[in-house]
Amino acid sequence: MMAPMKIAVPDDYQQLVATLDCYAELRGHDVRVFQGPAKNADELVTQLNDAEAVVLIRERTAMTADVIARLPRLRHIGQTGRSTHHIDVAACTARGITVSHGTHASAHTIAEYTWALILASRRDIADQMQTMRRGEWLPRLGRGLHGKTLGIHGFGKIGSLVAQAGKVFGMRVITWGGDESRRRALDAGCECVATKHALYSQSDVLSLNLRLSERTRHSVTASDLAAMQPSSLLVNTARAEIIEPGALEAALTAGRPGYAAVDVYENEPVLSGDHPLLKMNNALCTPHSAWIEKEMFECYFGEAFENVVNFARGAPTNLVNPSAQQR
């Protein structure tokens, strides 16, 4: 018979976890969901102190070696989604703490939202909605997409879906990257430009779809952005850390590119309007919502909860570090 565990879910600042259908999978366990993000490592340790298992929401919570060392009862970490770069897996393994992750990705969800941002920005939808709510009738002069150039920086699963939609809108689709990226792009009927400068300078709309890694961190530089046109739009639904710190704000102030639509920030959540992009009229900002969709949440959390329950039953699944079981 499965013994009940103490399970903690940190950083549910959108207060969505307990509303999910799959939350019922944790019935019988002692579950505590923390809605307010921990201000520092000490507060995080206090929140998780009694937990035998922790379920992490994407990359919101950093499980460092220091934090792990201060959680004596922790036996398992369940991760929503595939990424584990925010978890010190080696420290977990040394302590005999197993880590499980998801096997599903959210490519379609992110691609859909990327296009929502592109269309909303190019046609000034948010501003027009606000003017109507004020009782005004002021249609704006938007920018069309047909015949324009869509640049894809990061031609993986998400980038390829964004590219497909661009072709439906009658756009020229270009990309730049390594051999594998080039092969995928050519197979999809897209163009591969010779240089990064060409990608940025030729794109009327440029979508960042790079996975965050040490190689891609800060890989989009101020000089890359300066190569864009005053009429161009940069869209980032990937990670804020891909762009050099402060470079996007400076570029928008300088007018190259002229516009940005972003869903990701260096430090989340952004509260009290405390971010320079929120003070810029040429930036459309949303609160990391690209992956927040009912079906995707049920999928991500359902798999994470199942992994935790399987661990409690003594039959762990989708382990990142199976060798930790031997400790």
Name every residue whose Cβ is closer than 8 Å to that of residue 182 and which is 6 or more positions away in sequence. Answer: 155, 175, 192
User: How many Å apart are CA 255 and CA 231, to the nearest integer?
Assistant: 9
Catalytic residue among 239, 244, 275, 303: 239
| Residue 288 among the catalytic residues | yes
Catalytic residue among 58, 256, 288, 303: 288
- Return the structure tokens found at 26: 């944790």
Which segments of 37-124 does DSSP mark as H helices, in order?
A: 41-48, 65-69, 89-95, 107-122
Catalytic residue among 191, 241, 268, 293: 268
| Residue 268 among the catalytic residues | yes
Which segments of the chain does DSSP mark as H helices, in order?
A: 41-48, 65-69, 89-95, 107-122, 125-133, 157-168, 179-187, 196-202, 222-226, 247-254, 294-312
Inter-residue contact 310 to 317 (CB < 8 Å): yes
Inter-residue contact 327 to 94 (CB < 8 Å): yes
Active site residues: 239, 268, 288
